[in-house]
Amino acid sequence: MLRGKPQEAPAAPVPGKETPSRNREIPEEDSVQRDLIARYSDARVKLARHAVETTLEVKRSTLEIGLRILDLHRSNERPKNGMLRDQIESPLAGLRRRFGDTHGELRLSPEQEEQAVTIQLDLFEKQALDFKERVERLESRKDELQRLMLASDACQRKELSEEEYQSLLAATDEEMQVALMPPDENRLGMESSFPHPEFKPRFLALLDERQQEVFRQAPEGLYLDDNEKPEKAPAPPPAMSLDSRDKKLTALNQMLGTLLEMFQEDGEASERRKGH
């Protein structure tokens, strides 16, 4: 990745004109960045801005990968790439794995399995659209996320008290706190549509009375509606240094970029096969 443009030699001062200062490199209208630089430093502010932009890139890539997987499932295709094929479980295989012994006890017909897969894909698509809306909202709140990342960094470096940091977190909403969580490849926001509040009633509607009774007696941890689960407040994002955050985000972004390239190559190979 490029880490900035090559540095140009500073222009010689023009008689009668004041040489621009570093602060004047910032657009006059960008008072937010000026205020942040005054409180923290130019270097920390720039690093936080890079971390925000990389956070958004990670979320966009996550969304694109999710939509590509959805397209594969909708078309009943499997990836041609062996690595992708090993990582992406078919909806029916996922359903059987989730249900475990209960799947055998239900004795679903092929038609019921097909309908259950359709429910899964419908909910995953709904989840993807919700994720897309959240990314769009985050796009419009980059300054707020940057402020929080700088506060998190300052708290980690003992330049901001834990009480002050927690007060800032309490003043924001859950979406922003989720965006501030430490980068984690296992928690990208689109991992699974289970459990989903709409899955249980829609699935039960497919079953006969015997199957409904079997399903209701299944281990509730897998099949509870979100509304039936006891409410548990998510843990607030811990303080984290900008250097560590940016490093992890960059690595995660590169990993997702490689995955997207594999999807692209897989799609092109599939199109070539169709053309023969």
- pLDDT higher than 70, residue 65: yes
Q: What percent of the chain lies above the pLDDT cut of 90?
A: 56
Please write the tens of the pLDDT for every residue from 162-199: 999 999 999 999 999 999 999 988 777 765 555 577 88
- pLDDT higher than 90, residue 113: yes
28 by DSSP, 3-state: which? Answer: coil
Q: What is the pTM of this model?
A: 0.79
pLDDT of the residue at 233: 64
Please write the tens of the pLDDT for every residue from 20-30: 444 445 454 48
- pLDDT higher than 90, residue 110: yes
Please write the tens of the pLDDT for every residue from 195-228: 577 888 899 999 999 999 998 887 755 554 444 4
Q: How far apart are CA 226 and CA 231, in angstroms?
A: 9
Rounded alpha-carbon distances, angstroms, from residue 44 to 114, 178, 245: 52, 22, 12
pLDDT of the residue at 78: 85
Q: How far apart are CA 35 and CA 31, in angstroms?
A: 6
- Do residues 83 and 180 make contact, with C-beta atoms less than 8 angstroms apart? no
pLDDT of the residue at 196: 73
pLDDT of the residue at 185: 80
Select from 250, 262, 260 the least CA-distant residue to 62. Answer: 260
Among 2-6, 25-29, 146-150, 181-185, top mean pLDDT goes to 146-150
| Band of pLDDT at residue 273, cut at 50, 70 and 90 | low
Q: Is the dihedral of CA 200, 201, 206, 208 positive or negative?
A: positive
| Band of pLDDT at residue 3, cut at 50, 70 and 90 | very low
pLDDT of the residue at 7: 38
Q: What is the mean pLDDT of the chain?
A: 83
Q: How far apart are CA 149 and CA 251, in angstroms?
A: 18
